[in-house]
C-alpha cells in the first residue's frame, strides 16, 4: 500500500520519481488530482491499480477484494475486462483518464456486469456493458413480477441482460454514492439500474450516458426495512444519449416507505421516439403529455403559461425521415459504441413509419388490449390505483424545486420566469405543489 502524505508539491514529485523511475507518472504529479481526492474524501488510503503489475494491483477486482473498507483505488490507463462487485464495503474507484481507464464486461448475464456498487466515489472512467452477439437487447422493462416474492423477482430479472452499473444493495442504506466524470455505455439494457434505500443519496455529475439497448436510467424505491426513510437521486451537468429504446428512463414506485426526491440540473437529452405505438407499454402510468400532445401549439402555450419550459433553443421534437433512421441504425448496428459513438443532436428524434411496414405495424397495434402513449419516460406504480401524487404520476417519488435547465420539459420544476401576470403566477404555484401528478 502507498500512503500519500501530500506535504507539498515538491515532495509528491520526488516520490513519483522514486517509484516510477525516469518516466514520472502523470497522475502522481498532477496536483489537481490529489486536490480532487481530498475534496471527495478519498486521499487517506490509496492503492495503485496498473495493468503491467508495477502498482499494488494489476486488476480492479483483485484490488477490491483485498483492500479495507474506505480505501481508494487509483486506476491507471488500460482496458480492464472484468466484472467488479463492491457490495459489503466502500471502495472508491478513481480513474486517471476517462478516455483511457476502461472497465468492460459482457452484460449477457443479468448478474455478471462491469460494476456493482453501493457507496463511495466512482470518477473519471469509462464503464462499458458490451454485447458482442448483439442478441437479447432489452429496449424497455415490463413490471410483470411480484415485489413481495424474491423468486418472482429473480425470474423476471433473468429475462433480460444486465446493466452497465447496478446500484441495488442493502449496504447502501444511509450511505451516499457519487459517480462523477464518467462515460457509461450499454449495448444491452439500461446504462444504470438503481434500487434506492432509506437515507441513501445517489449522485451522477458530469457524466455521459450512451445506450444502444435499453434506456439510460432504471430507478425504483424499496418496500422493506432497508427502504425505510427518504432517498435522493441527483443528476447534474450530464448528457444522456439513447439510440434505440422507446424509454430513455424508467421509474418504478414500490410503495410508500421509501420516498425519493429527484433533482435534475442541466441534463441534456438526445433520444428517439417512435410514431408507432407497439414498442411502448400500455401499462405506462405516466401522466405527462405524449409526444403528439407536446407537438400541439395549444399544449405548448399552456405549458409556457404554467411555467414549464425546455432549456433547448429551437425545436424540442425533430421529425426523422426514413433515410436518417437508416443512417443512425447503420452507425449503431455493428460497431462498438466504445469507439464509435455517432453524433446525436439534442432533443427528441421522432421516427416516422416506413410505408413498407404499415401493414405489419397495424397488426401489431391491434394486438394491444389498450392503446399506448408515445412518451420517453416510463412510469410504474406497484398498484394501478395508488395515489399519483408525485412526478409524472408516481406515488411517493417527487421532483425537487432545484430541478432546472434540462432538455425534457417534465424534468424542470415549473418556474415563474415565463409567467406574464400574477394570476398566472398563482396558478403555476398551485400546480407546483402536486408536481406533475394527474393532468386535468
Q: What are phi and psi of 190, to 5 degrees?
A: -65, 150
Query: Nearest CA to 221 among 381, 345, 12, 13?
Result: 381
**Per-residue confidence (pLDDT) for residue 433, from 0 to 100:** 30
Query: Nearest CA to 419 among 258, 276, 303?
Result: 303
Q: Which residues pair with 203 in a beta bridge?
A: 178, 234
**Average pLDDT score over residue span 8-19:** 38
Please state the pTM of the whole predicted model: 0.83
Q: Are strands 120-123 and 91-95 parallel, antiparallel or unpaired?
A: parallel
Render pLDDT for 244-298 as a digit per residue (tens, 0 to 9).
Answer: 889 999 999 998 999 999 999 999 999 999 888 878 988 899 999 999 999 999 9
392 torsion bin: left (phi>0), alpha (psi -120 to 50), beta (else): left
Percent share of the chain, pLDDT over 70: 73
Render pLDDT for 149-167 as a digit per residue (tens, 0 to 9).
Answer: 656 655 666 667 889 999 9
Task: Check: CB of residue 227 under 8 Å from CB of residue 198.
Answer: yes
**Per-residue confidence (pLDDT) for residue 325, from 0 to 100:** 66
Say if residue 367 is exposed, middle or buried (CB neighbours under 10 Å; 0-12, 13-18, 19+): exposed
Residue linked to cell 425533430? 318
Task: Check: CB of residue 83 under 8 Å from CB of residue 114.
Answer: yes
Render pLDDT for 226-244 as a digit per residue (tens, 0 to 9).
Answer: 788 999 999 999 999 998 8
Query: Nearest CA to 307 among 406, 403, 437, 432?
Result: 432
Kindly indicate the confidence band of residue 112, based on its pLDDT and cuts at 50, 70 and 90: confident
Q: What are phi and psi of 364, to 5 degrees?
A: -65, -40
**Per-residue confidence (pLDDT) for residue 422, from 0 to 100:** 33
Render pLDDT for 178-187 as a digit per residue (tens, 0 to 9).
Answer: 999 999 999 8
Sign of the dihedral defined by the CA atoms of residues 418, 424, 430, 434, in that order: negative
* Domain edges within the chain: 107-334+343-432
**Per-residue confidence (pLDDT) for residue 323, from 0 to 100:** 66
Render pLDDT for 35-94 as a digit per residue (tens, 0 to 9).
Answer: 999 999 998 899 999 999 999 999 999 999 999 999 999 999 999 999 999 999 999 999
Helix (H) or strand (E) holding 297: helix 297-305
Task: Tell me how far CA of residue 377 lies from CA of 338, 408, 428, in angstroms.
Answer: 25, 10, 23
**Per-residue confidence (pLDDT) for residue 423, from 0 to 100:** 38
Amino acid at each position: 500500500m502507498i500512503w500519500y502524505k501530500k506535504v507539498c508539491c515538491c515532495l509528491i514529485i520526488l516520490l513519483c520519481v522514486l517509484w516510477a523511475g525516469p518516466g514520472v507518472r502523470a497522475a502522481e504529479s498532477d496536483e489537481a488530482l490529489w486536490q480532487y481526492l481530498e475534496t471527495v474524501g478519498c486521499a487517506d488510503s490509496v492503492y495503485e491499480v496498473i495493468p503491467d503489475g508495477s502498482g499494488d494491483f494489476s486488476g480492479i477486482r483483485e484490488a477490491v477484494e483485498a483492500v479495507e473498507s474506505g480505501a481508494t483505488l487509483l486506476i491507471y490507463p488500460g482496458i480492464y475486462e472484468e466484472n467488479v462487485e463492491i457490495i459489503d464495503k466502500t471502495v472508491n474507484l478513481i480513474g486517471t483518464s476517462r478516455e483511457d481507464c476502461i472497465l468492460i464486461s459482457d452484460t449477457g448475464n443479468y448478474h455478471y456486469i462491469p460494476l456493482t456498487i453501493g457507496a463511495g466515489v466512482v470518477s473519471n472512467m469509462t464503464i462499458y456493458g458490451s454485447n458482442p452477439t448483439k442478441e437479447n437487447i432489452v429496449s424497455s422493462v415490463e413490471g410483470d413480477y411480484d415485489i413481495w416474492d424474491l423468486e418472482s423477482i429473480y425470474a423476471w430479472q433473468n429475462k433480460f441482460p444486465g446493466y452497465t452499473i447496478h446500484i441495488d444493495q442493502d449496504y447502501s442504506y444511509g450511505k451516499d454514492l457519487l459517480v462523477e466524470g464518467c462515460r457509461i455505455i450499454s449495448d444491452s439494457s439500461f446504462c444504470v439500474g438503481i434500487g434506492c434505500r432509506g437515507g441513501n443519496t445517489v449522485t451522477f455529475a458530469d457524466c455521459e450516458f450512451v445506450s444502444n439497448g435499453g434506456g439510460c436510467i432504471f430507478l425504483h424505491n424499496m418496500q422493506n426495512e432497508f427502504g425505510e426513510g427518504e432517498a435522493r437521486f441527483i443528476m447534474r451537468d450530464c448528457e444522456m444519449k439513447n439510440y434505440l429504446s422507446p424509454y430513455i428512463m424508467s421509474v418504478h414506485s414500490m410503495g410508500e416507505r421509501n420516498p425519493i426526491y429527484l433533482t435534475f440540473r442541466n441534463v441534456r437529452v438526445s433520444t428517439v421516439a417512435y410514431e408507432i405505438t407497439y414498442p411502448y407499454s400500455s401499462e405506462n402510468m405516466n401522466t405527462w403529455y405524449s409526444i403528439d400532445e407536446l407537438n400541439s401549439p395549444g399544449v405548448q402555450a399552456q405549458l409556457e403559461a404554467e411555467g414549464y419550459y425546455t432549456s433547448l433553443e429551437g425545436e424540442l421534437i425533430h421529425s426523422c425521415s426514413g433515410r436518417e433512421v437508416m443512417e443512425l441504425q447503420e452507425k449503431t448496428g455493428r460497431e462498438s459504441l466504445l469507439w464509435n459513438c455517432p453524433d446525436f443532436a439534442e432533443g427528441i428524434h421522432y421516427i416516422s413509419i416506413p410505408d413498407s411496414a404499415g401493414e405489419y405495424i397495424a397488426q401489431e397495434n391491434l394486438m394491444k388490449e389498450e392503446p399506448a402513449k408515445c412518451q420517453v419516460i416510463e412510469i410504474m406504480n406497484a398498484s394501478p390505483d395508488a395515489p399519483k401524487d408525485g412526478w409524472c404520476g408516481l406515488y411517493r417519488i417527487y421532483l425537487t424545486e432545484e430541478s432546472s435547465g434540462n432538455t425534457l420539459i417534465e424534468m424542470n420544476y415549473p418556474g415563474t420566469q415565463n409567467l406574464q401576470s400574477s394570476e398566472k403566477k398563482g396558478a403555476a404555484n398551485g400546480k407546483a405543489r402536486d408536481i406533475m401528478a394527474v393532468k386535468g
